[in-house]
A and B are shown apart, each in its own frame.
Chain A
Amino acid sequence: MSQDFFDPEIFADFVIEAKEHLETIEPSLLELEKSPDNLGLLDAIFRPMHSLKGASGFLGLNKINGLAHKGENILDDLRKGKLRVTSEIMDVILATTDALREMIDSLEASGLEGDLDTVPLIVRIDAVQSGAPASATPEMVPAPAEEAPAVEPYTLAVTGGDHLKDFLEEAGEILANLSESLVALEKDPQASRDLINDVFRYFHNIKGNSGILGYREMNALTHEAETLLNQVRNGAMPASHEMVDLLLASVDILDTLLRNVDQATETVKPMDISEIVSQLRAFGDKGGQSGDGALPVQAKAEILSEPEPDFGDDEEIQIFEQTVSQQFDTLTLALEGLAEDSDQKELVDALHRSMVSIQNSASYMGLDEIKVYAERTAGLVDQARGAGLDFGDLLDILRQETAIMKDMVDKEIKKLKGDKVAMADKVSIEPPVKPNEAPAPSVEKKLERTESLLIAEGPSAKPGTSSPAQAKPQASSTIRVDHAKLDHLMNLIGELIINRNRFAMLARALDEGQNVASVAQHLTETTYSMARISDDLQDTIMKVRMVPVQSVFSRFPRLVRDLSRKSGKQVELITEGEETELDKSVVEVIGDPLVHLIRNSVDHGLESAEDRRAAGKSEAGRVWLKAFHKGNSVHIVVEDDGKGVDPELMRLKGVEKGLISEEEARNMDDQEAVELIFAPGFSTAQKITDISGRGVGMDVVRSNIKELKGSVAVQSTVGKGTIFTLSLPLTLAIIDALMVKVSGAIYAIPLDAVSETTKIKASKISEVNRRKATTLRGQVLGIVELSELLGLPGNNDHREVLPTVILTVNDRRLGLVVDTLLERQDVVIKSLGNYLGNLHGISGATIMGDGSVILILDPHEIYKLATSKVGSL
């Protein structure tokens, strides 16, 4: 050993590096033993051995170098294929690495390679290398599959008792037919197309049937054969002798595969078909030119493995998605075709079928909104084709409807994918099949909806001829609702269900006799949550029902034009606030009252052109139509710049028509006189015209608005004009109310009519013109006992201080004396039944938490009762 220039530091570094190399080599060796053909592993072992040899040689470590060199040689032989990985060779290599490690450890400990004798190991390595047969070639390396242990049989996916039997019998018949057909094809390569199609179909059917069973080898082999034959069918390849040979060989293997099936256990033994599959594929890739030598051998065939069927919720969603996707593709194709030629009946029929398919599959999935929408659109197509319409005129509508349906479907699919639990719930409670009687009414419904759709399209198609009569059905047929609002509603309903469950838990806790204080706390929290949900639900539903007032205002320009022409006056209509939103049911009812008010302005309010000129006004009269929100109400104003209402004239007419006495007329202030315009049978027009009739409009206006829990106010200045203001509630069904007690009973007063509550000293009340009154902050306030108005027993106790509710009705105030002021409360308005008839002063009823019934006062009628009764005293 030559270590003349020993340097401890260099050797220390070598030891570290050498150990790292060995640590790399050994795991790879163990892995190589398991995967003998993995050439990458051999490279991973060779490189560190090579480095170890180089480093040790450089340092003059001759024993390590010699052994590492031998190890390198044997690994190189393995890489080049001269040697094959065997257990014996693995033993030699592992012994080599063991010896190398021992010498390196010795080097680390003592600076010397140690006394290990490496000669026997080197001799052993030489023997292994020289013992390999010299005639070995790469082509002779056997496939690793032969050494692999046999694979276990696998089970076929059989459906029904006779499925496998049918398959085996038919496949046997097909193979017999195939042999005959292929022999015939070989005799006449230019055979008829029918013969080629027969051969293709035979392979095709076996492929399909084996695919259903999950018989992988048979499915893969027939797939390749089918692909090859498809090239023959397409004319890309002739049916050559070599091809027929290949196909006949395939039939033989298919026959073997068929015999591999164990019918009793429905299992099959796996079989290696890689050779024949590769040959078929290679033949197809070469375009039919047979090679001179053997075909290349591939290690593994790509066998189609059918995934296990999953019939859960995901599957159903996927099926639905696939189904509707194909329908929309068809709709797109059909609409494009009809755009080029709108007379193609088969495309119209395709439209109808696709829409019905969307309707039915949505119905199956429980998506009722989509079902109804598709049903309506399909009905439209059906009606149009039945009437022989030219579909060119309908294309834009149908494109729009298709796009809307697609949006709806896409959203639902997203939701379904994100909410599989809900889908499972739906599936589990799938409704039973509808009886046959059901189709009849649905057909009628369908026609009705279709007519509605056609009517709705009418005004937009011919705007010049639109009229209020047509607008009404349009307004009432549908509401386009923002999806966000509907989503919010669904979310609230979900919360409602959660809260219901919480109440159920609380009830159970009480039954079990749990701690009452704890349960009461949870009950309070749950009640609070329910209040929040119901408030939110109310707000959202109200918003859903809101529509812009523009849908009503849009009728009036035409009305004003007609009125001005008939009356001979020039009228200009100005609208403001058309985007203000109203409840849909209010919009439907408010049209007629507004018509009357506008008629009144044009007929009674506006002067003729000559009168206006004389008064220094523009010849054209102006009518304003305004809408805006104010507090808890929507206000709609009809204003004109006409002559105004003359209070003195109203008084005269009132007496003249017997509506009021002369004494009453003298006591009226101007505002009260003007309001006589709302009295039944009143009319002040000098001429009774056919446009405004005999003055029946105004009382109808007031009663219609009252039905909506609204009010009508009028202000007028002689010579300047008149303003009618309709006040309508935003919320129809729920109001804030002040609860009061009078004569032992409780009543609700709508809070929007209450300006304040106070206590009035009895000594401050005085009588003025036979009315009780007091001064409140410098203003005179009329006082009346509520019990007196309602015909209830009065409070006979002498009271120093009187609880009083100050009502404000049409900007006029009234003090209402009650027995007790109670709390403020939200109440739900219920209508009074027919059996109660019309009660003066009462607008409805409500039900309290304890089940008692409370009457709701009508502030306007209360005010009227107060003034009229005082007058009659």
Chain B
Amino acid sequence: MAKHILIVDDSKTVRNLVAFIMKKEGMKVTTAEDGLDGLEKLYSAKDRIDLVICDVNMPRMDGFTFIRTVREQDVYRDLPIVVLSTEGQEKDIQAGLNLGANLYLVKPAQPGKMVKNVKMLLGS
């Protein structure tokens, strides 16, 4: 069964680009445009979400709040989350890891590299 990736990013270009790459690798993709939308899609997904790719700076609900909310629920405590961060902000990295991200990628992340990061976390 194909892995199901949830992409949470307020940039349509990023969402479309990452979705394109993941689909090319045989994965199923759901996209969300901010943290709130991401939560809604995570909760309502018919096929279980296997991994989340999440931006930090988003309107309505930012990445950190999204991650904290997800991790508070036991059913999602082991869900892999990859954060797309602003470059070189040490405080943000610390906050992200403490709040439960599995991996922190600095923008602009190269598409091919991102695929390998995702595959490593999924163990495929």
The answer to whether A binds B is yes
Q: Which residues of A contact B108 (CB under 8 A)?
A: 207-209, 211-212, 219, 306
B23-76, CB < 8 A from A: 57-59, 71
| Distance A350 CA – B110 CA, assembled complex (angstroms) | 26
Decide: A319 and B120 in contact? CB cutoff 8 A. yes
In this assembly, does A292 line the interface, its C-beta being within 8 Å of a C-beta of chain B?
A: no
Closest chain-A Cβ to B8's Cβ sits at a distance in Å of 14
Knowing A323-B117, A333-B97, A349-B100, say if A160 contacts B14 (CB, 8 Å): no
Decide: B120 and A211 in contact? CB cutoff 8 A. no
Closest chain-A Cβ to B71's Cβ sits at a distance in Å of 6
Decide: B120 and A323 in contact? CB cutoff 8 A. yes
Q: Closest A residue to B12 by CB, please name it.
A: A170
Decide: B113 and A360 in contact? CB cutoff 8 A. no
Interface mask (A378-399 → B, CB under 8 Å = 1, otherwise 0): 0000000000000000000000
Decide: A349 and B71 in contact? CB cutoff 8 A. yes
Closest chain-A Cβ to B98's Cβ sits at a distance in Å of 7
In this assembly, does A364 line the interface, its C-beta being within 8 Å of a C-beta of chain B?
A: yes
B101-119, CB < 8 A from A: 102-104, 107-113, 116-117, 119
Knowing A323-B117, A349-B78, say if A359 contacts B13 (CB, 8 Å): no
Q: Which residues of B contact A306 (CB under 8 A)?
A: 108
| Distance A421 CA – B55 CA, assembled complex (angstroms) | 36
| Distance A198 CA – B11 CA, assembled complex (angstroms) | 13
| Distance A169 CA – B107 CA, assembled complex (angstroms) | 20
Q: Closest B residue to A329 by CB, please name it.
A: B97
**Number of residues on chain A facing chain B (CB within 8 A):** 49
Q: Which residues of B contact A311 (CB under 8 A)?
A: 112-113, 116
Q: Which residues of B contact A359 (CB under 8 A)?
A: 123
| Distance A329 CA – B113 CA, assembled complex (angstroms) | 21
Decide: A364 and B113 in contact? CB cutoff 8 A. no
| Distance A205 CA – B11 CA, assembled complex (angstroms) | 7
Decide: A330 and B80 in contact? CB cutoff 8 A. no
Decide: B57 and A353 in contact? CB cutoff 8 A. no
Q: Which residues of B contact A376 (CB under 8 A)?
A: none
Decide: A333 and B98 in contact? CB cutoff 8 A. yes
Interface mask (A235-275 → B, CB under 8 Å = 1, otherwise 0): 00000000000000000000000000000000000000000
Knowing A198-B59, A361-B123, say if A209 contacts B13 (CB, 8 Å): yes
| Distance A234 CA – B5 CA, assembled complex (angstroms) | 34
Which residue of A205, A319, A333 is within 8 Å of B116 (Cβ)?
A319
Knowing A211-B108, A364-B119, A433-B124, say if A353 contacts B20 (CB, 8 Å): no
In this assembly, does A418 line the interface, its C-beta being within 8 Å of a C-beta of chain B?
A: no
Which residue of B94, B100, B103, B124 is within 8 Å of A350 (Cβ)?
B100
In this assembly, does A446 line the interface, its C-beta being within 8 Å of a C-beta of chain B?
A: no
**Number of residues on chain B facing chain A (CB within 8 A):** 41
Decide: A163 and B102 in contact? CB cutoff 8 A. no
In this assembly, does A98 line the interface, its C-beta being within 8 Å of a C-beta of chain B?
A: no
Decide: A160 and B17 in contact? CB cutoff 8 A. yes
Decide: B113 and A309 in contact? CB cutoff 8 A. yes
| Distance A204 CA – B117 CA, assembled complex (angstroms) | 23
Decide: B97 and A330 in contact? CB cutoff 8 A. yes
Decide: B110 and A319 in contact? CB cutoff 8 A. no
Knowing A209-B13, A361-B120, A364-B119, say if A326 contacts B113 (CB, 8 Å): no
In this assembly, does A315 line the interface, its C-beta being within 8 Å of a C-beta of chain B?
A: yes
In this assembly, does A553 line the interface, its C-beta being within 8 Å of a C-beta of chain B?
A: no
| Distance A366 CA – B110 CA, assembled complex (angstroms) | 23
Closest chain-B Cβ to A229's Cβ sits at a distance in Å of 11
Knowing A205-B11, A311-B113, A361-B123, say if A166 contacts B16 (CB, 8 Å): yes
A412-438, CB < 8 A from B: 433, 436
Q: Closest B residue to A347 by CB, please name it.
A: B98
Decide: A212 and B123 in contact? CB cutoff 8 A. no
Decide: A208 and B14 in contact? CB cutoff 8 A. yes
Closest chain-B Cβ to A791's Cβ sits at a distance in Å of 62
Q: Which residues of A contact B110 (CB under 8 A)?
A: 212, 309
Q: Which residues of B contact A163 (CB under 8 A)?
A: 13, 16-17, 20
Which residue of A166, A346, A353 is within 8 Å of B80 (Cβ)?
A353
| Distance A362 CA – B112 CA, assembled complex (angstroms) | 19
| Distance A433 CA – B78 CA, assembled complex (angstroms) | 21
Which residue of B12, B112, B121 is within 8 Å of A357 (Cβ)?
B121
Closest chain-B Cβ to A416's Cβ sits at a distance in Å of 14
Decide: A166 and B112 in contact? CB cutoff 8 A. no
| Distance A346 CA – B78 CA, assembled complex (angstroms) | 11
Q: Which residues of B contact A772 (CB under 8 A)?
A: none
Decide: B10 and A364 in contact? CB cutoff 8 A. no
Q: Closest B residue to A356 by CB, please name it.
A: B78
| Distance A616 CA – B117 CA, assembled complex (angstroms) | 79
Decide: B78 and A364 in contact? CB cutoff 8 A. no
Decide: B119 and A309 in contact? CB cutoff 8 A. no
In this assembly, does A154 line the interface, its C-beta being within 8 Å of a C-beta of chain B?
A: no
Decide: B13 and A346 in contact? CB cutoff 8 A. no
Closest chain-A Cβ to B58's Cβ sits at a distance in Å of 8
In this assembly, does A162 line the interface, its C-beta being within 8 Å of a C-beta of chain B?
A: yes
Q: Which residues of A contact B104 (CB under 8 A)?
A: 326
Known: A166-B17, A357-B121, A364-B119. 9 other contacts (CB 8 A): A159-B111, A160-B21, A198-B59, A205-B11, A319-B116, A330-B97, A353-B78, A356-B78, A360-B121
| B interface with A by C-beta (< 8 Å) | 1, 10-14, 16-17, 20-21, 57-59, 71, 77-78, 80, 86, 94, 97-100, 102-104, 107-113, 116-117, 119-124
A-B contacts, 13 listed (Cβ < 8 Å) = A159-B21, A204-B57, A208-B11, A306-B108, A311-B112, A323-B103, A330-B97, A346-B99, A354-B102, A359-B123, A360-B120, A360-B121, A360-B122
| A interface with B by C-beta (< 8 Å) | 159-160, 162-163, 166-167, 169-171, 197-198, 200-201, 204-205, 207-209, 211-212, 219, 306, 309, 311, 315-316, 319-320, 323, 326, 329-330, 333, 346, 349-350, 352-354, 356-357, 359-361, 363-365, 433, 436
CB-CB nearest 8 A-B residue pairs? A360-B123, A211-B108, A361-B120, A160-B20, A349-B77, A309-B110, A208-B107, A212-B108
